[in-house]
């Protein structure tokens, strides 16, 4: 492993990042155990709801959220759920409510692997010896059950086999016992060979399959990194090969992959699932730590700052299941939905549109991002991302505190303040994003490089200021469309919208304000193209809502012109994948584009227009 995370207690989010976590804690994530039956009434805490993956999904984000915010009330809630899971452990160590053996309709293996993963996470945050003992017994029970052929990976567990390696890795770091490696190999042998499925990913089908399921795929990227780190086998960078392959056929400008619910191609009017966004973030985080390849951190930033906030309402009480790159409405579609294999409500903002997995699982996105800001590197500290955060740790026999003061990615500057209580020599390393055109270090221009590295004796207080430069630019997209990027952010033309709130009860689950459903309808024109390649950046203060729909922290002004752009055939509020032509049908207008993640209704991929005089 190239890098390792610091102990969670060493990390304290600051600035806009802390505010983002606070909004999440005040919204659905922090209150799901009060309002949602699958969590509130779970069998794991004595209720009657067989939640399957939902409690561990939720805890996977709720635990780091509670501890990073040092919220004692929420820490106690996390302890309540984890202690209930631990206290329900069987005599042989089995730790799930479901049966050991099941069929495709009752797959306990995925629930088990996910529960082990969350139990390992809880051990890291809480330091609980009770939890660590339970984790050891639970993993040993899985080992013996598989060795005795009482348990076989099936269904979701078979496709997501590598998630079990997270807990195995944690235990192996504590106890170098050979049976753990044997278990890892058994899981690998029973799991799906993802490389063999590539031929099925070329053409999107309106057919639900495990092989093309978008969340399975975004989880999949980390399998080789986790496995080879444990076993010591050579790492062949298969993740990069698979990333390039999927990008060719299903890549989105927001950094994620299209899939509504299965792989959906390159059209900007197709969707991609929120679960796939946060799982892709986690895969990138693991891949960066294990391989040290900074491309994974670049990809993480793009997904985190664009695709993640786009699918969450400003107050984080509601979310989308599917988001579209070109999204002119979010509504319950009549007739056959435009999504490949999803239902009519998949694009709405609500409590559990389409399916409740995202309701529970989106919670991991922001907290785990915060956990990865500072990482341990050889002989020192790596600032993997220039996000506002404080690290408090020991280097040799000195106490070291590093604070990054920044509004990145809304601005391109970061001041690092390093305090030491005594002179100590160590390496301080800062990752430079790949989009950077130029670098200034303490007001001096320096050569562009992937990292700024300082290995020296630090004493007392020292400031390091890094300024990055970039210019807005258009990137080519399919169907002769383009998108605007600047730094780590993608920009979109926002569409004024009207919200319609819906409160109702479905299948015994109540939706009421603030955790109700919403449809968003367009109130302004959306059929535009770029009419200029001159872009003016306008920066403002980051508000109390970092990715605010109103008054975003940064905007880009440019000229745009209308084009003939029809609706998708058969739909009243889904734009066609491309306009009729690039010919402008009106005079250029001054327009403002805002960060993709701020624009809930938006046009992102648009043509470069041809004027009436034939000019671009």
Query: What span, in angstroms and rounded, lies between the C-alpha atoms of 4 and 190?
Result: 29
- Confidence at 52, pLDDT banded by 50, 70, 90: confident
| Helix, coil or strand: residue 228 | helix
Residue 404 CA, distance from chain mean position: 22
pLDDT, average across residues 551-569: 97
| Residue 483 in domain | yes
Ramachandran quadrant class, 464 (left: phi over 0; alpha: psi -120 to 50; beta: rest): beta
Secondary structure letter of residue 411 according to DSSP: S
Band the pLDDT of 206: cuts 50, 70, 90.
Answer: confident
In this prediction, residues 117-133 reach a mean pLDDT of 98
Residues 6+ apart with CB under 8 A from 299: 243, 255, 284
- Count up the domains in the chain and report the number: 1
Residue 105 pLDDT class (50, 70, 90 cuts): very low
Q: Of all helices (H) and strands (E), which one includes residue 201?
A: none
First vs last Cα of the chain: how many Å apart?
49
- Check: CB of residue 487 under 8 Å from CB of residue 554: no
- Distance in angstroms (rounded) separating the CA atoms of residues 532 and 551: 24
Average pLDDT rounded to a whole number, residues 316-341? 96
CA neighbor of 565 nearest in space, from 525, 532, 613: 525
Model pLDDT for residues 60-83, shown as the tens digit of each residue:
999 999 999 999 999 999 999 999
Residue at 289 is within a domain: no
Distance CA 591, CA 495 (A): 11
d(CA 86, CA 95): 7
Does the reported pTM lie above 0.85? yes
382: pLDDT strictly greater than 50: yes
Q: At a CB cut-off of 8 Å and minimum separation 6, what does 241 contact? A: none
* pLDDT of 98 strictly over 80: no
Give the pLDDT confidence score for residue 97 in this predicted structure: 75
Non-local CB neighbours of 176 within 8 Å, separated by 6+ positions: none
* Residue 550: partners with Cβ closer than 8 Å, 6 or more residues away: none
What is the C-alpha radius of gyration for the chain, rounded to an integer number of angstroms?
24
Whole-angstrom distance, CA of residue 91 vs CA of residue 137 = 9
Short-list 61, 30, 28, CA closest to 514? 28
pLDDT digits 0-9 by tens, 251-297: 999 999 999 999 999 999 999 999 999 999 999 999 999 999 999 99
Report the distance separating Cα 422 and Cα 513, nearest Å.
Answer: 53
pLDDT interval class at 193 (50, 70, 90): very high
The residue-averaged pLDDT of 34-51 equals 93
Beta bridge partners of 556: 537, 593
Nearest CA to 66 among 116, 13, 113, 119?
13
Answer for the pair 135, 171: CB distance below 8 angstroms, yes or no: yes
Q: Is the pLDDT of residue 103 over 60?
A: no
In a domain, 588, yes or no: yes
Please give the pLDDT value at position 611.
85
Query: In degrees, to the nearest 5, what angle opens at C-alpha 251 toward C-alphas 247 and 254?
Result: 135
On the question of a cis peptide bond just before residue 261, with omega within 30 degrees of 0, the verdict is yes
Residue 497 lies in a domain: yes
Before 409, cis peptide (omega within 30)? Answer: yes
pLDDT of res. 186: 98
Model confidence pLDDT, tens digit, residues 384-405: 999 999 999 999 999 999 999 9
**Is 108's pLDDT higher than 90?**
no
The whole-chain average pLDDT of the chain stands at 96
Sorted by sequence, the CB contacts under 8 Å of residue 17 that are 6+ apart come out as 366, 369, 370, 373, 387, 388, 389, 546
Q: What is the pLDDT of residues 5-42, one digit of tens each?
A: 999 999 999 999 999 999 999 999 999 999 999 999 99
Residue 585 maps to a domain: yes
23 CB-side CA count, 13 A? 21
- Label residues 129-160 b or e (16+ Cβ within 10 Å = b): eebbebbbbbbbbbbbbbeeeebebbbbbbbb
Highest mean pLDDT: which range of 109-113, 153-157, 185-189: 185-189
Q: Is the dihedral of CA 559, 565, 568, 572 positive or negative?
A: positive
Please report, to the nearest 10 degrees, the dihedral formed by the alpha carbons of residues 6, 12, 13, 19 taken in order.
150
- pLDDT band of 1, cuts 50, 70, 90: low
Residue 34 covered by a domain: no
Answer whether residue 48 is part of any domain: no
Residue 20 located in a structural domain:
no
Token duo for residue 367: 């907290």
Is residue 370 within 8 A of residue 281, CB to CB? The reply is no
Q: Rounded to an integer, what distance in angstroms lies between the CA atom of residue 217 and that of residue 263?
A: 9
Q: What is the mean pLDDT of residues 601-616?
A: 86
SS3 517: strand
Flag whether pLDDT at 612 surpasses 80: no
Residue 37 confidence (pLDDT):
96
pLDDT reported for residue 100 = 75
pLDDT at position 66, please?
98
Distance (Å, rounded) from C-alpha 371 to C-alpha 366?
A: 9
Alpha-carbon gap, residue 120 to 195, rounded angstroms: 28
**Contact call for residues 179 and 219 (beta carbons, < 8 A):** no
Residue 542 lies in domain: 473-603
């Amino acid at each position: 492993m190239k890098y390792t995370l610091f102990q969670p207690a060493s990390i304290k989010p600051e600035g806009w990042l802390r505010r983002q976590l606070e909004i999440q804690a005040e919204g659905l994530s922090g209150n799901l155990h009060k309002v949602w039956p699958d969590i509130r009434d779970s069998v794991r805490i004595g209720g009657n709801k067989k939640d399957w993956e939902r409690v561990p999904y939720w805890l996977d984000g709720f635990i780091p959220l509670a501890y990073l915010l040092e919220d004692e009330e929420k820490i106690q809630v996390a302890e309540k759920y984890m202690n209930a899971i631990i206290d329900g452990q069987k005599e042989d160590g089995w730790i799930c409510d479901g049966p050991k053996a099941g069929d495709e309709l009752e797959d306990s293996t995925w629930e088990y692997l996910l529960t082990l993963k969350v139990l390992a996470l809880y051990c890291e945050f809480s330091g609980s010896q009770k939890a660590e003992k339970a984790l050891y017994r639970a993993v040993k029970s899985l080992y013996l059950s598989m060795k005795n052929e009482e348990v076989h990976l099936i269904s979701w567990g078979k496709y997501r086999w590598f998630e079990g390696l997270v807990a195995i890795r944690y235990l192996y770091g504590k106890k170098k016992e050979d049976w753990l490696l044997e278990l890892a190999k058994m899981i690998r042998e029973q799991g799906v060979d993802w490389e063999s499925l590539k031929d099925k990913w070329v053409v999107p089908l309106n057919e639900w399959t495990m092989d093309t399921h978008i969340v399975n795929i975004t989880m999949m990227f980390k399998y080789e990194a986790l496995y080879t780190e444990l076993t010591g086998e050579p790492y062949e960078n298969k993740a990069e090969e698979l990333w390039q392959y999927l990008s060719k056929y299903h890549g989105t400008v927001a950094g994620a992959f299209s899939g509504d619910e299965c792989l959906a191609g390159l059209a900007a009017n197709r969707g991609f699932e929120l679960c796939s966004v946060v799982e892709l973030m986690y895969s990138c985080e693991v891949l960066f730590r294990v391989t040290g390849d900074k491309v994974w951190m670049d990809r993480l930033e793009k997904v985190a700052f664009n695709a993640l906030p786009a699918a969450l309402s400003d107050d984080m009480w509601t979310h989308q299941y599917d988001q579209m790159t070109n999204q002119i409405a979010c509504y319950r579609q009549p007739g056959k939905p435009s999504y490949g294999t999803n239902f009519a409500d998949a694009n709405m903002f609500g409590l559990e549109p389409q399916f409740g997995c995202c309701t529970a699982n989106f919670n991991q996105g922001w907290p785990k991002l915060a956990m990865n800001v500072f990482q341990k590197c050889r002989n020192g500290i790596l600032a993997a991302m220039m996000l506002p955060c404080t690290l408090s740790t020991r280097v040799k026999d000195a106490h070291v505190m590093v604070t990054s003061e920044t509004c990145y990615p809304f601005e391109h500057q970061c001041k690092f303040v390093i305090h030491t209580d005594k002179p100590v020599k160590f390496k301080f390393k800062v990752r430079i994003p790949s989009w950077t055109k130029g670098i200034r270090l303490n007001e001096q221009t320096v050569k562009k490089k992937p990292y700024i590295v300082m290995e020296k004796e630090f004493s007392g207080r020292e400031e390091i200021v890094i300024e990055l430069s970039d210019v807005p630019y258009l990137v080519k997209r399919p169907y002769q469309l383009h998108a605007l990027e600047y730094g780590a952010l993608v920009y979109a033309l926002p569409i004024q919208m009207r919200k319609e709130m819906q409160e109702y009860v479905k299948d015994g689950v109540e939706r009421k304000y603030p955790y109700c459903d919403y449809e968003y309808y367009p109130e302004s024109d959306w059929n535009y193209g770029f009419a200029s390649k001159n872009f003016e950046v306008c920066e403002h203060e980051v508000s109390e809502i970092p990715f605010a729909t109103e008054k975003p922290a940064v905007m880009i002004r440019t000229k745009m012109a209308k084009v003939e752009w029809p609706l998708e055939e058969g739909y009243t509020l889904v734009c066609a994948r491309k306009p009729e032509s690039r010919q402008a049908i009106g005079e250029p207008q001054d327009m403002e584009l805002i960060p993709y993640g701020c624009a809930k209704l938006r046009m992102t991929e648009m043509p470069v227009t041809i004027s009436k005089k034939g000019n671009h």
